[in-house]
Amino acid sequence: MQYDLPPPKILEIRKYPDAILKQSCLHVSEINLDIKTLIQNMFLTMYSSGGVGLSANQVGRLERVFVMDTSASGSRRRAFINPEIIRKSNIDKCKEGCLSFPDIFAFVKRPTNIKIRAQDEDGNTFELDLEGIDAICFQHELDHLNGITFYDHLSPLQKQMMKKKMSKLGK
């Protein structure tokens, strides 16, 4: 079904410790005008904030939807609806940032090779093999949909250091 989308708009990105970041998002049963508009607005919001990924709960919505664009890796702009990981391997530590934690970065241990399944904006189910930054970004955004932030992956010492950084930055 074709939709005439309204003009895109930049959404407010929820910052830690906003409670919505700890909530699990709900399965999308119908990809309608509302979901397509959400995706369009999420891309605009992500690009305007300099991010490579953005999840629905980061903009105050509880649908299992995220967008990412890791073009620097040769990948492309994609929306993921009802995403899941079906296989993972090769764990490594990678430096991550998050639009909900502005100007904060930390090393997180994650699989660097994954196979995923999701739906696209037209409701088609697809599978992809992702590696490197694409795999890391996908897992980071999927965590958001499950109410988990990269902060939750950190050791107590790393969390303490991050809290100090956030207080210095006035977050």
What tens-digit pLDDT sequence spans the chain (171 residues)? 566 889 999 999 999 999 999 999 999 999 999 999 999 999 999 999 999 999 999 999 999 999 999 987 666 899 999 999 999 999 999 999 999 999 999 999 999 999 999 999 999 999 999 999 999 999 999 999 999 999 999 999 999 999 998 888 775
Domain range list for the chain: 19-169
Is 41 in a helix, a strand, or coil?
helix
pTM for the full predicted model: 0.94
CATH 3.90.45.10 assigned to 19-169: yes
Residues that are catalytic: 141
Helices (H), 14-169: 33-49, 132-145, 156-169
